Chain A
Amino acid sequence: MDFYYTTEEEKFRDELRQWLVDNLPEGWIEGKREIPQDNEGQSKFFRDWQRKLFDGGWSGISWPEEYGGRGATLIEEVIYEQEMARVQAPPQINVIGVAMVGPTLLQIGTEEQRERYVNKILNGEEIWCQGYSEPNSGSDLAALQTSAVKKGDKWIINGQKIWTSMAHLADRCFLLARTENTGKKHEGITAFLVDMHQEGVETRPIRSIDDQHIFNEVFLNDAVAYEADIVGEVNKGWKVSLTLLSHERTGVARQIFQLNQVFDELVEMASTLKKNGRPLIEDPIVRQNIGRLRAKSKGLLLNYYRNLTNSIRNGYPGPEGSMDKLGASELGQEIYSYALSLQGSVNTLWKENAAVTAEWQYEYLRSRAYTIEGGTSEIQRNIIAERILGLPKDIKY
């Protein structure tokens, strides 16, 4: 048991750290973190950042070198997330492409697909979105109804996707559609790589509770895909969809690191804000609450390291990732909710009128999505119960 990194790993860290200092927008590290609010400005900002990461060799670091990555080890990926969290780096707009679509294509895509897409994912030229959820199938993903019918050399796609993050900025979509009805819902699904810039694809924004435009509805009206756009085999898309999700291996890491870092700011805030003329941080109840959250956050971080060690030892990640996700999402909500509680009666003031900084309000609202996106907490609990503990399945599929 040890928490030391090798000299090489430390070198990797130092190199990245220096790169971030040199390349983050002016004033970013010092706390001036402004992202344009309009669609176009935002798109440009994120694409520029994605491009910078690529040029610096800091995008898709776990990808093999021949495809533009660094062949980074799991530990290096973790260091990467630590450092990105440390400076609160802007999110990668093409995270779906870089973290999931690219590795999936590298693993099971055709040679042609690799050549056509992979490089453009990494350099940010093509942004990807993920078309899984539908109005009538969220948690029950396999019940999806969007259909794809073969006509000559084309597949004609009809239906609707929803909650599609980044669809309004995306060039392509990793989309699941039903190509056969066998009566068994996990069968007859096919994964397509769909061009978003075509007549049959219409994207409408959905405003989220934090007054942002993150996700969208995507309508497919005779949208077209070709044979060459199919990933894996026709009707075997369920397995492909799971392959994609299995590549989401360090996503939760950054969140866990962020939660452990946020205590700096939380303590800072509690030292500045006063009640009865005394800093909140001197209030025994406040101290108890912060102490509880702190211990939980550390526990979560350590759990993550323990699962990581096991993944490295076993050579593959176990279902414990669900525990990391569940823990991080719920604790994140608790922490941001408490941060607002500390602000007293002005705690709902936000945007320009925020009492401390509006980031608390934004993240508080944002945190409500933590336990929904990527599989709800209830679904995570089912997975943990069934796959880790061996308890019975609650629904007969």
Chain B
Amino acid sequence: MEFALNEEQQVFQRSTQQFLKSKGDLEIPREYSEGKEEVLDDLWIGLAELGYMGITVSESYGGLGMGPLTLVPILEEMGRAVIPGPYIETVAFAAPLIEKYGSAEQKEKYLEQLASGNRKFTVALLEGNGELSPTNINVLATQKDNEYVLDGEKILVSHADFADTLIVPVRTGNNEQDISLLIVDCDSSTLQMEKQISMDESRKMIKVSFNEVAVPKLQLLGDENTGWEILQDGIQGLNTAWCSNMVGGLDRIVEIATEYANTREQFGQPIGRFQAVKHKIVEMKMNLETARSLAYYAAWALENNTEDVVEAIAMARSLITESFIQSASDNIQVHGGMGFTWEFDCHLFLKRAKSLENYLGSPEDYREQVVSELVGNKESLILER
């Protein structure tokens, strides 16, 4: 039994950290949200050079052929610097789905480009009120010869302007789960995009409108009307990845709070000497380590497709999201007035945390999943061996 990052994963961690530092660390999301969008292009080129775009792409397409566990340290580091861009959507969602469900042509067309950094994916998932449910997938795909014609609107598509390829669940029939996944190339389509102003400017949100957009049938990912199922698979990857990303955020928060508490003085002593402050930071640290353990475990369960993978991810997701919001809030408190300024970094984490709170489901939804699994599998509950 061994439950910690191995040497290779630690190497990934260090080199990601070095790389992101060289690119400006927390200046990256700041510059990006102030409109300097080139930082994202630059970042992407660097990630591709490091080979990080191809981690989950098989070796025959120029990738490393690794799984979710390898992503863990990289995503933590990205979370530490609140990095913008659709890295998770590309590497933890699109790549594994195309590997698993894509046709030979699709693999040929996308995977090599993805691994070399020349294909940037995002997922156009939500509609209407933002709820994630089959009945809320209403972008209509009408068949016409060898094409689907799409009509409708997706919201909160992160970094759709930067991405060149979208994975889009669309409605292909009248039954609730008659949903299919389409791979939509942005360049060959006439998509309308409109920025949605969000508190968390490090994740740029875009409304994408489809007005009679024709997409070849060849772009169907998996079989027709199996899209919802495939999507669940993809969402596991997204959730696991976001969990590690949030752990990185938590890690940075503890670091920042500790540093501030050690240097800021009031009443003639560092504020970290006051237990009300000190113990609050310990609470953050406790939450961080629990979060990290759960995120590791979720990635391990996903990589090995264990029996408890659904529960593992749901536990991680429900707990980590809430811890992230809590610690990000407490961090502002520890910084006093300084924490409320735009200039200090505290708010970057709070906004990121809040923007992820209900993304792909609320903490309550995931806790409910934990309990269904618990009640459903009572026999298997006997102590893990």
Binds A, one of B101-109, B176-184, B324-332, B370-378: B370-378
Shortest beta-carbon distance, B219 to chain A, in Å? Answer: 37
Assuming A290-B374, A323-B289, is B367 touching A295 (CB within 8 A)? Answer: yes
Q: Is A326 an interface residue (CB 8 A)?
A: yes
Q: Is A38 an interface residue (CB 8 A)?
A: no
Q: Is B318 an interface residue (CB 8 A)?
A: yes
Is A385's CB under 8 angstroms from B281's CB? Answer: yes
Q: Is B267 an interface residue (CB 8 A)?
A: no
Shortest beta-carbon distance, A258 to chain B, in Å? Answer: 10
Is A4's CB under 8 angstroms from B1's CB? Answer: yes
Q: How far is the CA of A203 from the CA of B296 in the complex (A)?
A: 50
Q: How far is the CA of A233 from the CA of B8 in the complex (A)?
A: 46
Give the secondary structure class of A's interface. helix
Assuming A82-B383, A327-B286, is B367 touching A390 (CB within 8 A)? Answer: no
Shortest beta-carbon distance, B125 to chain A, in Å? Answer: 24
Is B318's CB under 8 angstroms from A292's CB? Answer: yes
Instruction: Please give, as numbers and ranges, the residues of chain A lying within 8 Å of B274 by CB-CB distance.
Output: 394
Instruction: Please give, as numbers and ranges, the residues of chain B lying within 8 Å of A27 by CB-CB distance.
Output: none
Q: Is B297 an interface residue (CB 8 A)?
A: yes
Which listed residue, B278, B369, B370, touches A391 by the CB 8 Å rule? B278
Assuming A281-B375, A394-B274, is B370 touching A295 (CB within 8 A)? Answer: yes
Assuming A267-B374, A327-B286, A392-B262, is B278 touching A303 (CB within 8 A)? Answer: no
Instruction: Please give, as numbers and ranges, the residues of chain B lying within 8 Å of A75 by CB-CB distance.
Output: 1
Which listed residue, B282, B296, B366, touches A389 by the CB 8 Å rule? B282
Which listed residue, A5, A291, A313, touches B370 by the CB 8 Å rule? A291
Q: How far is the CA of A395 from the CA of B382 in the complex (A)?
A: 45
Binds B, one of A92-100, A113-121, A304-312: A304-312
Q: How far is the CA of A291 from the CA of B374 in the complex (A)?
A: 8
Assuming A1-B4, A294-B371, is B275 touching A306 (CB within 8 A)? Answer: no
As a 0/1 sequence over residues 348 to 385 of chain B, the CB contacts with chain A under 8 angstroms (1 = contact) are 00000000000000001011111100110010011111
Which listed residue, A295, A309, A394, touches B294 by the CB 8 Å rule? A295
Assuming A1-B4, A287-B368, A291-B367, is B279 touching A381 (CB within 8 A)? Answer: yes
Instruction: Please give, as numbers and ranges, the residues of chain B lying within 8 Å of A291 by CB-CB distance.
Output: 318, 366-371, 374
Give the secondary structure class of B's interface. helix
Is B315's CB under 8 angstroms from A299's CB? Answer: yes
Nearest B residue to A284 via CB reads: B368
Nearest A residue to B312 via CB reads: A298
Q: Is A243 an interface residue (CB 8 A)?
A: no
As a 0/1 sequence over residues 277 to 319 of chain A, the CB contacts with chain B under 8 angstroms (1 = contact) are 0000100100110111011101111110110111001000000
Q: How far is the CA of A394 from the CA of B382 in the complex (A)?
A: 43
Is A294's CB under 8 angstroms from B374's CB? Answer: yes
Shortest beta-carbon distance, B269 to chain A, in Å? Answer: 7
Is B384's CB under 8 angstroms from A288's CB? Answer: no
Instruction: Please give, as numbers and ranges, the residues of chain A lying within 8 Å of B4 by CB-CB distance.
Output: 1, 306, 309-310, 313
Q: How far is the CA of A296 from the CA of B293 in the complex (A)?
A: 11
Shortest beta-carbon distance, A208 to chain B, in Å? Answer: 27
Which listed residue, A302, A389, A391, touches B297 by the CB 8 Å rule? A302
Q: Is B285 an interface residue (CB 8 A)?
A: yes
Is A327's CB under 8 angstroms from B290's CB? Answer: yes
Is A299's CB under 8 angstroms from B370's CB? Answer: no
Q: How far is the CA of A298 from the CA of B291 in the complex (A)?
A: 10
Assuming A82-B383, A264-B378, is B315 touching A294 (CB within 8 A)? Answer: yes
Instruction: Please give, as numbers and ranges, the residues of chain A lying within 8 Å of B273 by CB-CB distance.
Output: 391-394
As a 0/1 sequence over residues 295 to 330 of chain B, the CB contacts with chain A under 8 angstroms (1 = contact) are 011001000000000000011101100000000000
Shortest beta-carbon distance, B66 to chain A, in Å? Answer: 13
Is A299's CB under 8 angstroms from B294's CB? Answer: yes
Q: Is B34 an interface residue (CB 8 A)?
A: no
Is A288's CB under 8 angstroms from B254's CB? Answer: no
Is B3's CB under 8 angstroms from A296's CB? Answer: no
Nearest A residue to B385 via CB reads: A5
Assuming A287-B367, A292-B367, A313-B4, is B293 touching A303 (CB within 8 A)? Answer: yes
Known: A261-B381, A302-B296. 8 other contacts (CB 8 A): A291-B370, A302-B293, A306-B289, A327-B286, A385-B281, A389-B281, A391-B272, A391-B281
Interface residues of B (CB under 8 A from A): 1-6, 69, 254, 258, 261-262, 269-270, 272-275, 278-279, 281-282, 285-286, 289-294, 296-297, 300, 314-316, 318-319, 364, 366-371, 374-375, 378, 381-385
* A to B CB contacts below 8 Å, 12 in the list: A3-B3, A257-B383, A296-B319, A301-B384, A303-B290, A306-B296, A320-B289, A323-B285, A385-B272, A392-B262, A392-B273, A393-B273
